[in-house]
């Protein structure tokens, strides 16, 4: 039976707008699903820019006011792909209009906003999800399976980092377009919301809730030219952030992110150590999962490099053949796949707004701890 159409309204057209759209366009080629996304409308303030985007990717129409898009009867689901400071308002309007919502991460500027958003979608009973896409890299999904199967036993340690090096130059400006991530007004925070939030979402998914944190934050470059004001302005974001924490299961956590780690482009790694085994993953080689199994025969124990490309690995029976890897963008295709499966049944697709609020709480606590140098209970 042919899948039913699900009309998508996309707000935004940047890096994430492309990544999500690619997910919508590809998912039915590879997965048998009850729904098929239709690229109904794309929206941005600049008519010229959004028209070019719509032409390139095949959106049927454009809007220049997101309120209009949200109110359109022919839109089933809205994708919020705009800077963080706009998430809340749009989400509330979507909920009010009964639209499903796919919101870019982090959920909000802070916990207060996030809580309001959660209440809105829960009251409106609209299907909602937040694009923490790394959960659906097959090797990461497989880590979740192995942990849930009890293969690691009691957990002692979780560590993750997300290291980049693209803001080292003092000449890089802040604000506007691609550089809104450096502008605290638009982004809310620096690496904490942008990078650590990914690490935290995965961590809570794999290892459960966090009880308390202590953090350090740093802004290495104190002033940068601002693209919107045309003047040198104080930099309000955190360039680097690290924190220690306890998880509720008694394990210790260690997290770090920075945009000043020369030589690393997008080095998101995590490792989890348990009584019976350990797991490691690295975004730079995202199709591999490293697994140490203490149950292996003593003299033969070693870290196994699992090339997660077999038919029995998560999502992989729909792609190519063993040994042939997929890439970063496929995590979005998988997210869309799971969202559509859920949406057809009116079921949530994790991480929901409520799940993402948990990450927001930790981010807020981390930033607060970075300011006053004390432990914070979550």
CA 351 to CA 357: how far, in whole Å? 9
Please, what is the minimum distance in Å from the beta carbon of residue 17 to a second copy? 12
Shortest reach from residue 338's CB to a second copy, in Å: 19
Question: Which residue number, 73 or 295, has a Cβ lying nearer to a second copy?
Answer: 295
Q: Which is nearer to a second copy, 74 or 296 (CB)?
A: 296
CB proximity list for 351: less than 8 A, separation 6 or greater: 129, 130, 132, 135, 201, 205, 359
Nearer to a second copy, 143 or 357 (CB): 143
- Burial class (CB within 10 angstroms; exposed 0-12, middle 13-18, buried 19+) of 312: exposed
DSSP of 199-219: HHHHHHHHH--EEEEEEEEE-
**For 189, left (φ over 0), alpha (ψ -120 to 50), or beta?**
beta
Please state the closest distance from residue 67 (CB atom) to a second copy, in A.
28
β-strands 376-377, 210-218 pairing:
antiparallel
User: What is 230-273 written as a DSSP string?
Assistant: SSEEE--S-SEEEEEEEETTS-EEEEEEES--TT-SSEEEEEEE
Least separation in angstroms between residue 216's CB and a second copy is 5
In degrees, rounded to 5, the angle at the alpha carbon of residue 246 between the alpha carbons of residues 245 and 247 is: 120
Whichever of 66 and 247 has its CB closer to a second copy, that residue is 247
The H or E element that residue 92 is part of is: helix 87-96
- For residues 46 and 249, which CB has a smaller minimum distance to a second copy in the complex? 249
User: What is each CA distance from 76 to 99, 126, 177, 201, in whole angstroms?
Assistant: 6, 10, 28, 27
Write down the least CB distance from residue 296 to a second copy, Å. Answer: 8
Q: How far is the CB of 205 from a second copy (least distance, A)?
A: 20
Tell me how far, at minimum, the Cβ of 350 lies from a second copy, in Å.
22
Contact 362, 213 (CB under 8 A): yes
Which residue lies nearer to a second copy by CB, 206 or 215? 215
Q: Pick the closer one to a second copy by CB: 89 or 290.
A: 290
Q: How far apart are CA 142 and CA 280, in angstroms?
A: 11
């Amino acid at each position: 039976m042919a899948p039913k159409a699900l009309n998508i309204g996309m707000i935004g057209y940047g890096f994430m707008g492309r990544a999500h759209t690619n997910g919508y366009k590809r998912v039915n080629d590879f997965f048998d699903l009850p729904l098929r996304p239709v690229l109904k409308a794309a929206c941005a303030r600049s008519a010229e820019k959004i028209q070019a985007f719509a032409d390139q990717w095949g959106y049927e129409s454009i809007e220049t006011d997101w309120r209009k898009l949200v109110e359109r009867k022919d839109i089933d689901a809205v994708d919020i792909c705009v800077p963080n400071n706009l998430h809340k308002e749009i989400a509330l309007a979507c909920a009010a209009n009964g639209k499903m919502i796919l919101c870019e991460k982090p959920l909000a500027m802070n916990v207060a906003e996030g809580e309001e958003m959660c209440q809105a979608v829960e009251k409106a009973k609209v299907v909602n999800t937040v694009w923490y896409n790394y959960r659906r890299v097959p090797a990461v999904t497989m880590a979740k399976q192995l942990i849930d199967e009890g293969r690691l036993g009691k957990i002692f340690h979780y560590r993750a980092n997300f290291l980049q090096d693209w803001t080292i130059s003092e000449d890089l400006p802040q604000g506007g377009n691609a550089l809104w991530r450096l502008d605290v007004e638009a982004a809310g925070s620096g690496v904490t919301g942008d990078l650590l939030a990914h690490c935290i979402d995965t961590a809570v998914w794999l290892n459960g809730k966090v009880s308390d944190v202590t953090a350090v934050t740093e802004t290495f470059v104190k002033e940068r030219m601002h693209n919107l004001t045309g003047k040198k302005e104080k930099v309000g974001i955190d360039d680097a952030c690290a924190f220690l924490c306890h998880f509720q299961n008694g394990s210790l956590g260690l997290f770090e992110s920075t945009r000043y780690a020369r030589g690393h482009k997008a080095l998101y790694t995590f490792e989890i150590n348990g009584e019976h085994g350990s797991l490691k993953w690295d975004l730079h080689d995202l199709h591999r999962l490293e697994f140490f199994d203490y149950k292996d025969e003593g003299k033969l124990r070693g870290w196994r490099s699992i090339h997660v490309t077999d038919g029995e690995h998560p999502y992989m029976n729909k792609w190519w053949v063993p040994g042939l890897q997929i890439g970063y963008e496929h995590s979005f295709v998988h997210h869309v796949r799971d969202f559509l499966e859920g949406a057809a049944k009116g079921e949530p697709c994790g991480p929901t707004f409520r799940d993402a609020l948990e990450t927001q709480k930790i981010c807020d606590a981390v930033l607060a701890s970075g300011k006053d140098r004390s432990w914070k209970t979550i």
